[in-house]
């Protein structure tokens, strides 16, 4: 099958971590289909998009070199029209490639453009939602175009049942939406002796370590985590917090911590490679994700694979991943509840090896299930694979 994937979320030489989970799926899909990746990017200053120099990509160990193109956009003002603008530039590319099927990740504007162009060319098209493109739509125009996208596609993929229900409420037919949950690289994220991981990180064995991984964004619940940690730190002299990631909220986050005189009890190692992230998860007592909204948070999948119990908010697809055997769920934006859950989690003896032994999905599972849907849609449309 000749498959074209259209997404703006993909690793770039200047940001090799971007769209990591889509890259993992796409990389595994290469075993099932002859595929190309197209990455549209809005051009706010007339840029020409990402580089296509294979040597640059090889430096970042990225095996798929996408085709980048840019389309004109004006911040905020052009949002209602970005889908149509993207479609105009995508049309000649898909026309020339003539794939058997188009697969999109991220519903607007790229998903809308993929559906519009594929329908015009008579190509089957599947769109995939990752989370906030369905759960956190910012304006009524985008909501309208997202609804048209899920109704106009031949099939919709989501990463959680919660998102599947959102797509159905948007107008997608129930039998045309399927949940394919994220996978995990078991060679990286797996059970390991906690003290061994701590020795490699040069952490004292007696510390009580809480680990967060993700963007530094207010919507990720960083403020609530800092407040809950401040309460915990007053009670437990050995407790520490590791905040792994980056983002615009970092200055505000550090200000909150300094306000509680906690800067010396917090690790901020920055953005890390997945093997280093796994080491922190293996070393941690708890993994904490206090988000206000989530699709299917892969960091939770990875923490569980490492045997690290999870304290997370009861939002989106997270409850589909976390139960009483591997973690504790709390309401979003509730620092006292988060504090109590962290307190309870630190006081409980967890079966870390048992947590890690829960059946883990690999990225090949994700790719195989995705390809099965592709074949189903292609067959239904009467397209013969090339």
139 and 224 inside one domain: no
- Does 35 map to a domain? yes
66 and 208 inside one domain: no
Estimate to the nearest angstrom the gap between the alpha carbon of 349 and the chain centroid: 30
279 and 367 inside one domain: no
Domain that holds residue 117: 2-183+363-381
278 and 167 inside one domain: no
| Beta bridge pairs of residue 382 | none
Residue 317 has pLDDT above 60, yes or no: yes
18 and 151 inside one domain: yes
- Does 188 map to a domain? no
> What's the structural domain count of the chain?
2
Q: pLDDT tier at 383 (50, 70, 90 boundaries)?
A: low
261 and 147 inside one domain: no
295 and 154 inside one domain: no
| Mean of per-residue pLDDT scores for the chain | 92
Weakest-pLDDT range from 71-75, 311-315, 371-375:
71-75
- Does 281 map to a domain? yes
Rounded CA separation 124/382 (Å): 9
pLDDT digits over 28-66, tens only? 999 999 999 999 999 875 444 444 444 444 444 567 889
Residues near 184 by Cβ (< 8 Å), separated by ≥ 6?
Answer: 298, 301, 302, 305, 360, 361, 362, 363
Per-residue pLDDT, averaged over 256-274, amounts to 95
- Does 51 map to a domain? yes
297 and 160 inside one domain: no
Rounded CA separation 144/44 (Å): 23
Q: pLDDT tier at 167 (50, 70, 90 boundaries)?
A: very high
290 and 373 inside one domain: no
pLDDT digits over 203-238, tens only? 999 999 999 999 999 999 999 999 999 999 999 999
- Does 44 map to a domain? yes
Which CATH number do you get for residue 45?
3.40.50.2000
Judged by DSSP in three states, 66 sits in coil
- Does 276 map to a domain? yes
- What DSSP string runs through 114-176? HHHHHHHHT--EEEE--SHHHH---SHHHHHHHHHHHHHSSEEEESSHHHHHHHHHTT--GGG
- Does 279 map to a domain? yes
pLDDT digits over 240-249, tens only? 999 999 999 9
Structure pTM? 0.88
Percent of the chain scoring above 70 in pLDDT: 94
- Does 189 map to a domain? no
131 and 103 inside one domain: yes
Per-residue pLDDT, averaged over 265-292, amounts to 97
161 and 56 inside one domain: yes
241 and 160 inside one domain: no
Rounded CA separation 112/127 (Å): 9
Residue 349 has pLDDT above 70, yes or no: yes
């Amino acid at each position: 099958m000749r498959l074209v994937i259209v997404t703006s979320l993909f690793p770039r030489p200047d940001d090799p971590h971007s769209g990591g989970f889509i890259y993992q799926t796409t990389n595994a899909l290469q075993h099932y289909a002859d595929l190309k990746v197209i990455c549209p990017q809005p051009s706010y200053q007339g840029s020409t998009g990402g580089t296509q120099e294979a040597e640059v990509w090889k430096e970042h160990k990225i095996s798929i070199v996408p085709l980048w193109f840019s389309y004109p956009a004006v911040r905020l003002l052009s949002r209602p029209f970005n889908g149509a603008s993207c479609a105009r530039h995508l049309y000649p590319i898909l026309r020339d490639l003539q794939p058997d099927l188009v697969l999109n990740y991220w519903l607007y504007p790229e998903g809308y453009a993929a559906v519009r162009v594929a329908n015009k060319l008579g190509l089957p098209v599947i769109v995939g939602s990752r989370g906030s493109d369905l759960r956190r739509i910012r304006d009524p125009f985008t909501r309208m175009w997202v609804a048209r996208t899920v109704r106009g596609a031949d099939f919709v993929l989501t990463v959680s049942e919660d998102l599947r229900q959102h797509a159905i409420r948007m107008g997608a037919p129930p039998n045309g939406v399927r949940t394919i949950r994220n996978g995990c690289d078991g060679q990286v994220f797996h059970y390991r002796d906690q003290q061994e991981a701590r020795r490699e990180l040069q952490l004292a064995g007696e510390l009580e370590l809480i680990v967060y991984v993700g963007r530094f964004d207010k919507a990720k619940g960083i403020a609530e985590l800092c407040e809950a940690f401040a309460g915990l730190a007053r009670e437990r002299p050995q407790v520490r917090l590791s905040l792994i990631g980056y983002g615009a909220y970092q200055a505000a986050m550090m200000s909150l911590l300094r306000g509680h005189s906690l800067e010396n009890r917090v690790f901020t190692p920055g953005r890390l490679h997945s093997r280093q992230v796994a080491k922190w998860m293996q070393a941690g007592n708890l993994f904490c994700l206090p988000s206000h909204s989530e699709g299917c948070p892969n960091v939770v999948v990875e923490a569980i694979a490492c045997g690290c119990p999870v304290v997370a908010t009861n939002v989106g697809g997270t409850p589909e991943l976390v139960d009483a055997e591997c973690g504790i769920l709390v309401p979003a934006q509730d620092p006292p509840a988060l504090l109590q859950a962290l307190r309870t989690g630190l006081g409980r003896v967890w079966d870390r090896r048992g947590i890690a032994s829960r059946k883990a999905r690999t990225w090949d599972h994700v790719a195989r299930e995705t390809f099965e849907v592709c074949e189903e849609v292609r067959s239904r449309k009467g397209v013969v694979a090339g």
